[in-house]
Structure 1
Amino acid sequence: MLPDPNSLSGPLDPAPDAGWADAPPRMGFFTDTSVCIGCKACEVACKEWNDVPGSGLDLLGMSYDNTGALTANSWRHVAFVEQPRPAGHRSPPFAGTPAGGSVSASSAAAGTGNPTGTDPGVPPGSADAAARMAGPGSAPAGPEFLGMPGAQPPGRAGGTEGRTDFRWLMMSDVCKHCTHAACLDVCPTGSLFRTEFGTVVVQEDICNGCGYCISACPYGVIDQRAGDGRAWKCTLCYDRIGAGKTPACAQACPTESIQYGPLDELRERAAARVATLHERGVAEARLYGHDPDDGVGGDGAFFLLLDEPEVYGLPPDPVVTTRDLPKMWKRAGLAALAMAAAAVAAFVGGSS
């Protein structure tokens, strides 16, 4: 169904509009890039669970990035962005950590780098990722270890006195599962469909390889597989979530950068996380894809970014590409009627 051009914000949950009666809560992803360490566990888990072909070993001349973008063979893509930092920039301390210091051993042993246990970026009851990765009996080494802005690049040891002239931004990108999905609007076979969880899935056995969805996607997510021709993308592990399980990428993420759950809860958690980062002095933290009044009606997979969207290869103002189709069809219909009326008038006039 084409979106109403006069009400792009629409409902937050598109499943009922797709015909799902008594649909469960809309599910989605919140990806907190401030704690992404670029390990690519999400990429591997996605490939293993969904039997996605390998992307090959090609570093592309872009640091540790061997995939480059979301493709038919990469349904998750971890971006590595290396930036110069402003002079005098200093990473803010992690919550509950003295400036320039490290998390206490007792906090690490307790499974949290935040003694108050109030960090909204970590779901209640779960161990802090930095403490887990530090290993038994050792404490995390401050903000550089925690993946905060200004973090050391992967494989570089050192604390707060290390190199400070650049920073690495990392983000695990994925299909956005838009509220108003243009790919659904243009698919002629019904291969793409809206699930009861509000996500968008491609049925490869119905796809005819026309490629309309590829040009319609405002994020450039969907791709055709070489030698196959059909469209492929993230399904948000529809088979897993239908069985009450967590998607493979979120299950594998060691820092809980990728969080899965009811979209309403994720939005609340994300807003609290941004507020916390602002209090810590990370003024550049902002959300992307969370606004139901944006050009796609909000995304089912949204992000916390530490710079402008363009830095991560994301469009700053995505718009559902089929937004104007209802108006265009209406105008085309009126024009056709006018032409038909003119032809009839000409025929009648010529006959008389």
Structure 2
Amino acid sequence: MFPDPNSRSGPRGPAPEAGWPDAPPRVGFFTDTSVCIGCKACEVACKEWNDVPGSGLDLLGMSYDNTGALTANSWRHVAFVEQPLPAGQPSSRVAVGGTDSASPTTVAAGTGPGAPSGAPDGAVRAGTEFLGMPGSQPPGRGVGAQERTEFRWLMMSDVCKHCTYAACLDVCPTGSLFRTEFGTVVVQEDICNGCGYCVSACPYGVIDRRRDDGRVWKCTLCYDRLGAGMTPACAQACPTESIQYGPLDELRERAAARVATLHEGGVTEARLYGHEPTDGVGGDGAFFLLLDEPEVYGLPPEPVVTTRDLPLMWKRAGLAALAMAAAAVVAFVGGSS
């Protein structure tokens, strides 16, 4: 039976249950896609700090997305979603430097009135909220003097979710995967036997095997940096603070406030993903603010821990084995008499 969500969603998260009685508060990532500019600084920082091999030249033919997905050699993946606007949909609710009837929020560009101090040209502010660089504006925002009419960019830096209910931990036969004192999930590649059970168990398709050695690799949330009191490399390198690191409870409060601010500014599409402790994976250690449905970003709409039915399955298998053994005994006794 699926475990009680409250059993692992306390202030310190799942670490105490994994054998860390004095664990610090659980930490994680909050990724605000509304300010992601697609610079890929997070990808580069992750590779440099963790010595992740290059992914090679891969011309996917999909916009500027040169990595395509999370893999053993891409622990951070910046998705570029080039999305055509539906026919007849207004291209902009808010024009730069002005207001409209749908939303009275004033938006200023560059270093003009209302722009943040030191903001690059083309950066915009809605009311008092900095919305990022050109191409990263929420749906319908115009850039510069002219409004964009044909498409919008949706960008998101994806990463391992460090689930509360981590199916990869349940199926690993060697103990290579373990829960850290920070509540994160880490692979000990030196004892990974490359069986691949965790690859199929992950509901997000995050874990991947490296072709040259067969072992699995994924984001560790920079476990070595956390132990030294440092911020993970990707969050440290993010120029717009799209990737935010800290205690998970604090990040959830910050994310809820951010969504409320966007809704007040007319961006009603904004929503949180992976933040709810009562969802199918008990909440994610890395959750997101999205500007469209999860499927648009390649995320499952309702992820569920893939091992949730294992206890019931083993129970039924045990009962079936007992029944078969009893039937065999009866047949043997009956036949001998």
Q: Give the conservation status (yes or no) of the 8 Å contact 1:207–1:230.
A: yes
Match of 2:158 among 154, 158, 173: 173
Tell me the SS of whatever aligns to 2:300: coil
Q: How does 1:239-250 map to 2 (within 5 A)?
A: 239-250=224-235
CA distance in 2, matches of 1:350, 1:27: 64
The one-letter code matched in structure 1 to 2:138 is P
- Kindly provide the amino acid, as one letter, of the partner of residue 55 in structure 1: S
Match of 1:210 in 2: 195
Q: How many pairs are equivalent?
A: 320
Q: After the TM superposition, which residues 223-234 of structure 1 pair with which residues of structure 2 at under 5 Å, given as runs?
A: 223-234=208-219
Q: For residue 132 of structure 1, report the CA deviation from its aligned partner.
A: 4.3
CA pair 133-305 structure 1, distance change in 2 beyond 3 A? same
Residue 161 of structure 1 deviates from its aligned partner by 1.1
Question: What SS does the corresponding residue of 2:58 show, helix, strand or coil?
Answer: coil
Cα-to-partner distance string for 1:47-81 (whole Å, 9 max, x where unaligned): 00000000122231011111000000000000000
Shift of 1:349: 2.6
What fraction of aligned residue pairs are identical, expressed as a percent? 77
In structure 1, what is the Cα distance between the partners aligned to 2:140 and 2:243? 18
Amino acid across the alignment from 2:247: P
- In the superposition, the TM-score normalised over structure 1's length comes to 0.85
Structure 1 distance, partners of 2:37, 2:145, is 17
Change (3 A) 1:44 1:150: same
**Are 1:45 and 2:45 counterparts?**
yes
Change over 3 Å in CA distance of 1:289–1:168 after alignment to 2: same
Q: What SS is found at the alignment partner of 1:334?
A: helix
Q: Using the TM superposition, give the Cα deviation of residue 160 of structure 1 relative to its aligned residue in structure 2, in angstroms.
A: 4.2
Q: In structure 2, which of residues 4, 9, 13 is the aligned counterpart of residue 7 of structure 1?
A: 4
Instruction: Give the corresponding residue for 1:187.
Output: 172
Aligned-residue CA RMSD in angstroms? 2.4
Query: How far apart are 1:99 and its partner, in Å?
Result: 2.5
CA distance in 1, matches of 2:245, 2:3: 31
Distance change in 2, residues 1:224/1:91 (3 Å): farther
Distance 2:247 2:240 in 1: 20
**2:64 paired with 1:64:** yes
Residue matched to 1:330? 315
CA distance in structure 1 between the partners assigned to 2:139 and 2:145 by the alignment: 10
In structure 2, the partner of 1:22 is: 22
Query: Does structure 1 conserve the Cα–Cα contact (< 8 Å) formed by 2:107 and 2:114?
Result: no
Decide whether the 8 Å contact of 2:174 with 2:193 is kept in 1: yes
- Name stretches of at least 5 consecutive residues in structure 1 with no aligned partner: 114-130
Q: SS in structure 2 opposite 1:205?
A: helix
TM-score normalised by length of structure 2 = 0.89
Of 108, 117, 120, the match for 1:101:
108
Unaligned 5+ segments in structure 2 are: 100-104, 126-130
- Matched letter for residue 82 of structure 1: E
Equivalents in 2 of 1:212, 1:9: separation in Å?
27
Aligned partners of 2:35 and 2:132 also within 8 Å: no
Deviation >3 Å, runs of 4+: 91-94, 102-108, 138-146, 150-153
